[in-house]
Chains A and B, each alone.
Chain A
């Protein structure tokens, strides 16, 4: 802020570019607006042309129908359980590993870390056939645990948290050792509280990622009752029921939890997503 330059003239390009950015931003949200408003229309209004841009009659009948015709509550519970437990396990396993890679000296440390990080780039979907057969052999098809374990194996959390452990000073650890704290206590009571922001970011990012992990959950959850919300709701699109308002109500049910998470934790996303990128 230099007062000398004020009032600064905005360049024409800047003005136009920002107007366009705003127009596109609103346009980009239009499909979601259409989703919500359509879900509140009745079965004939929803396909009326020319359309009602704002619902004339509000009805929640589509929502009650989704929960009555489909085990949507069960699906929601499955999704919460899968996303919650996966994330909890990811945080535990990757915090331990990241601590070791950052602070402990052991043979093969660098090689193992490089292998972990390299594996992050390969989507598990390309190995879906052998992965499914293992899941089958372990008896985990149609089980939430079949959806959980393969996602815990992904090393993204190790990579993310190692950066946070690296920035915690080694002196802290040494001080704890001199006070006679063992490795486990040093980890749990001294280092873990310091990397809390990293754990927060990992928790949110991973929860969303698992919640939206469609293909693997589609393959594992084959029985109606064992589906997750995303997979279950997606079946509504093929449902014989021609009422689009009903389908849109289902999609809204699947969208709302993620919207809430985003609104509540926006800061974590911005930080968490950027951490994975190369720093300048």
Chain B
């Protein structure tokens, strides 16, 4: 009996020692910031001086039209980018997944390379292409006599442009995921459908898309969360402009924290975003644990 208890005690200690490094870092850099973020959101912070103000930061936020604009913009970005990404990735993957391996890896590579070289580099190229004075796209717009050639300076065109750039840069990840999951669908399902005389479009809509639904859920959630924190493309292409037309929640948070020194307000934005991401990830987490 005593020996047994000794045994489990030893197992426990060994286990804790093995997870110790990860656990300590997790507590310092993830758990503590969350608690501290919630606390700071209830304080007015001026340099070393902190004053408790209750929910004042939150009420400041909800009286700020720019914050509202940032929420609306973020929602617009999330909805359009996620729909474009899922739709286009489904189209590409369903077209190529059953072709020969070389072709598949060429397509996968072509769409994934922009993801690799990062949003920073891609934003720089797009910034050059869209530059009103000497960008290729502005030049083309002028040649075609379009009404605006400064696509980033016009509040009607700037949102679609940012949506397109973000989508085009990041769609490769969804394509990789879909292709992997479509290759895993059992071949006999397609053969059976073929015998029944189903067309390819029918096979895609009635067999393939329902079967990759878990992947669709996963792609949707990771993309919602990724777009929710959209920042780089805004900072590099538009600076939130023109006239706050492209301010997002993350950009608003960043400006409050590191430009206007409004740490309490910025923390409140962070808390709101934290709650949103937590709620959004519940279905994904549930799916992951159901598997076990």
Residues in A lying within 8 Å of B, measured CB to CB: 11, 13-14, 17-18, 20-22, 24-26, 28-29, 31-32, 34-35, 38, 46-47, 49-51, 92-94, 96-97, 99-101, 104-107, 109, 112, 114, 116-119, 121-134, 149-150, 152-155, 158, 183, 187, 208, 211-212, 214-215, 219, 230, 233-234, 236-237, 244, 247-248, 250-251, 254-255, 258-259, 261-262, 266, 269-270, 273-274, 276-280
Contact = CB atoms under 8 A, between A and B. Distances in A.
B33 to A, nearest CB: 4
A233 B120 CA distance: 9
Given A93-B21, A106-B15, A280-B211, A28 B111 contact: yes
Given A96-B22, A247-B124, A277-B181, 9 more contacts: A112-B23, A116-B26, A119-B26, A122-B281, A127-B37, A127-B274, A129-B267, A237-B127, A274-B176
B267 A130 contact: yes
B260 interface: no
A145 B110 CA distance: 34
B30 A124 contact: yes
B26 A128 contact: no
Interface string B107-118: 111111110111
B76 interface: no
Is chain B's binding surface mostly helix, strand, loop or mixed? helix
Contacts of B14: 100, 104, 106, 183
A179 B171 CA distance: 51
Nearest to B34: A127
Contact of B274 (A49, A94, A126): A126
Contacts of B18: 96-97, 99-100, 104, 183, 187
A278 B134 contact: no
Contacts of B250: 125-126, 215
Contacts of B12: 106-107
A125 B133 CA distance: 34
Interface of B: 8, 11-16, 18-19, 21-23, 25-26, 28-30, 32-34, 36-37, 40, 91-92, 94-96, 99, 105-114, 116-122, 124-129, 131, 133-134, 136, 139, 168, 173, 176-177, 180-181, 184-185, 199-201, 211-212, 214-215, 217-219, 221, 225-226, 228-229, 231-232, 236, 250, 253-254, 257-258, 263, 266-267, 270, 273-274, 277-278, 280-281, 284-285, 287-289, 291
Given A28-B168, A237-B236, A248 B113 contact: no
B273 A126 contact: yes
Given A130-B40, A153-B26, A212 B118 contact: yes
Given A29-B110, A129-B257, A280-B181, A158 B119 contact: no
Contact of A101 (B19, B184, B185): B19
Contact of A31 (B36, B129, B231, B289): B129
Contacts of A107: 12
Contact of A106 (B11, B33, B221): B11
10 tightest A-B CB contacts, nearest first:
A106-B15, A121-B281, A100-B18, A47-B134, A153-B29, A130-B36, A25-B110, A274-B180, A153-B25, A17-B95
B176 A273 contact: yes
Among B95, B177, B219, the one with the most A-chain Cβ atoms within 10 Å of its Cβ is: B95
B177 A32 contact: no
B29 A18 contact: no
A35 B112 CA distance: 17
A32 B119 contact: no
